[in-house]
A and B are shown apart, each in its own frame.
Chain A
Amino acid sequence: MNWADLRWLVPELVLSAAAVLLLVADLFTPAERKRWLGWFAVASVVPAAASAVILLGDLQALRSPGVRIFSDTYTLDAFAVYFKLVALGAVALVSLVSLEYFPGRTPHLGEVFALLLFAGVGLLLMASASDLILLLLSIEFVSLSSYLLAGFLKRDPKSNEAGVKYFLYGAATTGVMAYGFSLLYGLTGSTSLYDIGPRLGQAGPAVYLAVGMALAGFGFKVSMVPFHQWTPDVYEGAPTPITAFLSVGPKAAGFAALVRTLSVGIPLEQVNWPLLLAALSALTMTVGNLLALVQRNLKRMLAYSSIAHAGYVLMALAAWRSPWALQGLLYYLLAYLFMNLGAFFVAMVAADATGSDEIPDHAGLSQRAPWVAAAMAVFMLSLTGIPPTAGFFGKFYLFAAAVDAGLLWLAALAVANSVVSLYYYVGVLRALYLMPPATPGPLPVPAGLRAGLLVALVGTLAAGLYPQPVVLFVETARRLLTG
């Protein structure tokens, strides 16, 4: 190993060091000052993100699509940097609102932020792992931290249920995925994605079996049907900031890992995986949308909606032969980061006052907190895909890719699904704007939550109204190191 290679790992090193420092500082911080630990967590994301951007500049100065270090186990390319920035954005925003949520609910504030940072390190590694062992390990890193965070509120039975359910489901799918990985190793004699691709040869049905089993693990992370059953219970029971984190962080990193594994490790000529994913995408978006229609709990509704959105993003993999596909996936996941985090943050505002996540209990929010209700309107319209929001551009890219790849039926199904989704998204707005509030009077919104909401709102609108910078970055990030 070469010591100079460590510089490509600076974002991970910064975030790990911050997490360990935070744990040590926690020991010496008196209870009334624990909130500073949260600010430290938010601040530590800044140097990590800055170093990721600098590394991207270094790559461009080298005129290289990417570097592979540590015997090809770790790859840094523009694609990885893009997902690292998305992951860091999720960690920062979720830490910010956690500052308002967790004090008073748990005495172990320091550990919340340390685990969030550790989960962040896992996400950074997932975006770069190009070896089955590191890939499995980084997925487990994110999963284990997530199980703990989902079950963090010990006195809340729903949080306990969320933690245990997430853990049991995750353990089972990881086992299946590890078995699939072992088959890939057995067929090729290598754990490196760069070696597996060329060596797969004419292995026939065993490769399909291995890919299918590996998909169980990835499907669990991105909540793809039929590995989605955990989603509503965990999203409903977990502390709301953690739910927000689960819906964007691990999902985006799961897609990053899935894209890298399939595009680098499994040649299209051996396995027709776009066809397989087209079927899964159609199933995922339809099941998610139909089940979302009947939900009365806002967090459960957003859980089913997040399953539907996983279906839309899977369209990019189904349409892989189109040059628009990867751009669509990248743009959509950034848009989804802002709009979905925003929706969960709004859910926190009303739940803080009423103690309930039921949609009718959000009635009259437009009178009690007009700006929050207006932001929710933007997020709901963006999730539906109505211009000029980021969600519209994301869907436009994805639908164009599907049409371009000749998957007209899939694009038509996605449009139909988007129309159906309008019903339940507008249902939320109806409660917010047309139903009278149960208790009148303005609703206080804590500062951290206000800041998080503002960033999400600006992100959703800016990426929709002025998409050029994002599109340019997405163009760069398309350069995926393929071997």
Chain B
Amino acid sequence: MTHKGTATFIAQRTSAVILLPLAIWFLAGAVAHAGSSYDEMRAWLATPLNAVLMGALILAGAFHMRIGLNEIIDDYIGAGARGIFKLLNLFAAAGAAGLAVYSLFVIAA
């Protein structure tokens, strides 16, 4: 994140604040559906509110986790391999986000 320190700092804090209420919603939903069948769980996730909140959780989470792992890569990976690791990080985060958005569209449709 060379030369973009302040923007990255703000992006990480903003996504953190967005993730806090979403994490509470997610844990509450997970506890409430601990005993649910597949159909009950899917019906819950298919409602517009829950599908949007789950999408927001995974999108904001993917954004936040990419910045966090990039910071760890900066700390512990030497200059030579750093770029490759950051590219893999982007692919993993974007892949997780894309897969979830596609899946939620299918579930909510």
* B partners with A: no
Interface positions of A (Cβ within 8 A of B): none
